[in-house]
Amino acid sequence: MEISAQDQQVPPSSPVSTPAPDDLLTEPQTRADLLQYYCHLTLDPNTLYREMVLSEGDRKAVLTDLVQEYPEHPDRFSHLYQVLCREGLSGRCYWEVEFQGSVEIAVAYRDLGRSDYYSECAFGCNDKSWSLDINGNDTCFRHNDEEKAVPEPQSSRVGVFLDHKAGNLTFYCVCESTLQLLHREETTFTKPLYPGLWLIDTAQLCDRE
């Protein structure tokens, strides 16, 4: 499923305020601006690594020490603590992730590898995915196995703004109603992008607030 916030293709429980056409040309400056593009996302259990479990309506992922008896599925990550969302994104979309422990907050094309070599599956290690890797002081942005240093987030909530057509992917640290810019990547996207998570503890997609 592909969604774009300005098309309002989100569940009724998570309404999106659609900007006027002229506003679509303006870069959002505040969290309130970004929330106009909020997308209600859900994690796809068919992609979930076998030692992870979902809860909160498939919006929270937890890594466990037990192998779960999930059915075989070609979309499932077989070697990495990763999961993708069901929704493919285009247009302008915004979402937030609350996390504990190390986490990678990513977007990827649907044809990202699942059980191939590490470089073909891991977020940020190939040309099919872009990832913000948060590990304490060792925080970076990664794409095609190239890293860029990023400031350490000052809170455990990160906002992600995607402008697919413009080729912009921006990560923010969300501290209550204020934003700390972590990284902005400018590139060209050729297909819908699926948000994803890698984690060693817990990560959750946040409700619109």
The residue ranges of every structural domain in the chain are 30-205
Percent above pLDDT 70 for the chain? 88
What pLDDT, on the 0 to 100 scale, is given for residue 1? 58
Decide: helix, strand or coil at residue 101.
Answer: coil
**pTM given for the model:** 0.88
- pLDDT tens for each residue of 84-135: 999 999 999 999 999 999 999 999 999 999 987 789 999 999 999 999 999 9
Query: For residues 86, 4, 109 and 72, what is the CA-based torsion angle, rounded to 10 degrees?
Result: 10
What is the C-alpha to C-alpha distance for residues 135 and 191, in angstroms, rounded to an integer? 29
CA distances from 5 to 23, 59, 70 (A): 13, 18, 32
Note whether 102 and 63 are within 8 A (CB).
no
For residue range 25-34, list pLDDT tens digits in order: 477 889 999 9
Fold of 30-205: Jelly Rolls (2.60.120)
Model pLDDT, residue 137:
82
Pair type for strands 168-175 and 88-89:
unpaired
163-to-42, 100, 106, 168 alpha-carbon distances in Å: 20, 27, 14, 5
pLDDT tens track for 36-69: 999 999 999 999 999 999 999 999 999 999 999 9
